[in-house]
Amino acid sequence: MNKKRIGWFSFTCCEDSTIIFTELLNTHYKEWLSKIEFVHARILRRDEYPEIQLMDVAFIEGAISSDIQEQKLKRIREKTKTLVAIGSCAVTGSPSNQRNFFNPENIVEIKEILDRFKYKEKVLKVSDIVKVDDIVPGCPMNEQIFLRIMTKYVL
């Protein structure tokens, strides 16, 4: 059986779902590693390819703060059969999008950083930019839902 080609990508977030994922590996790694090839997963390995590779499933964690991130997300969408948004920031934008709700006084304080590093005007959730096939909500992601998603698309 061909292994499923998986990508795990983190954008603007605290990467808590990445940590939950590595904790789930504690008890699932034997089964999963026999069925999965990690094509992109910066937490586990250095990427071996310069460009985004074809994938069966891409897991997207975090919200989108910049045009660079938006372009990368679109490239991932082009290269994956299935795209799953993982955790609260990817699914709803929050809490990474909290600056969207700042009052004018707070915006003034952070404006210099926003300008200097070319932040997007608003932080976006994943489905604002690309088609999302499925979601795993939660902060961090809900483990039981993630396990169901793994069964549905990967195992």
We find the least distance from the C-beta atom of residue 69 to another protein, in angstroms, to be 7
138, 88 in Cβ contact below 8 A? yes
Cα distance between residue 90 and residue 130, in whole Å: 11
- By CB under 8 A, the count of residues binding another protein is 46
Site string for another protein, 16-35 (x = CB under 8 A): xxxxx-xx-xxx-x---x--
Among 75-83, 98-106, 129-137, 144-152, which window interacts with another protein (CB under 8 A)? Answer: 98-106
How many whole angstroms from its chain centre is CA 66?
14
Find the largest Cα–Cα distance for the chain.
58
Cα atoms found within 13 Å of the Cα of residue 123, Cβ hemisphere only: 21
We find the least distance from the C-beta atom of residue 139 to another protein, in angstroms, to be 7
Residues within window 37-76 making contact with another protein, judged by CB under 8 A: 38, 42-50, 65-66, 69
81 near another protein (CB under 8 A): no
7 near another protein (CB under 8 A): no
Query: Which H or E run contains 39?
Result: strand 36-41
106 near another protein (CB under 8 A): yes
Distances (CA, A) of 83 to 17, 30, 102, 145: 16, 24, 30, 15
102 near another protein (CB under 8 A): yes
How many whole angstroms from its chain centre is CA 117?
21
139 near another protein (CB under 8 A): yes
Query: Which H or E run contains 4?
Result: strand 4-10
Binding site for another protein (CB under 8 A): 10-20, 22-23, 25-27, 29, 33, 38, 42-50, 65-66, 69, 95-96, 98-99, 102, 106, 109-110, 112-113, 116-117, 119, 139-140
